[in-house]
């Protein structure tokens, strides 16, 4: 994945392998690592899928552009999350804190 309008789509055969891993339960058994900023857990390896395409940073030829775009997107999410600081969800506000904790971390 690259910025809009550049790059190419993942091969359909790899997409099918990922879906197969979901259906078979193999994805549940995979090892994971966390991504920067959003803390998403991505598998490090799946049978039949090149490991380098599982981590979005590897699909960008310009790693700095990837990092800049990631930080920009994280900033946009953080700005939207600021709305939650004005509202308290739940009688003890725990849900508000959980929502804020799930936001970008950078």
pLDDT value at residue 7: 65
Under 8 Å between Cβ of 43 and 30: yes
pTM of the predicted model as reported, rounded to 2 decimal places: 0.72
Kindly state the tokens that stand for 49: 């899928």
pLDDT value at residue 41: 94
| Domain residue ranges in the chain | 12-101
Q: Which of 31, 50, 52 lies closest to 42 in space, CA to CA?
A: 31
- 59, with CB counted inside 10 A (0-12, 13-18, 19+), is middle
CA 56 – CA 13 distance, rounded (Å): 18
Mean pLDDT, rounded, for 40-65: 92
Kindly state the tokens that stand for 48: 């039949």
Mean pLDDT, rounded, for 26-30: 95
pLDDT value at residue 42: 95
User: What count of other Cβ atoms lies within 10 Å of the Cβ of residue 70?
Assistant: 19
Q: How many Å separate Cα 79 from the centre of its chain?
A: 18
More confident residue, 56 or 49: 49
Mean pLDDT, rounded, for 9-15: 93
CA 46 – CA 15 distance, rounded (Å): 11
β-partners of residue 32 are: 43
pLDDT value at residue 88: 66
């Amino acid at each position: 994945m690259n910025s809009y309008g550049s790059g190419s789509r993942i091969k359909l055969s790899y997409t099918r392998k990922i879906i197969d891993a979901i259906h078979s339960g193999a994805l549940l058994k995979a090892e994971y690592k966390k991504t920067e900023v959003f803390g998403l857990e991505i598998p490090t390896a799946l049978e039949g899928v090149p490991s380098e395409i599982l981590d979005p940073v590897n699909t960008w030829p310009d790693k700095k552009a990837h990092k800049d775009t990631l930080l920009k997107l994280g900033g946009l999410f953080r700005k939207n999350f600021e709305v939650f600081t004005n509202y308290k969800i739940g009688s003890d506000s725990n849900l508000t804190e959980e929502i804020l904790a799930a936001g970008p971390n950078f």
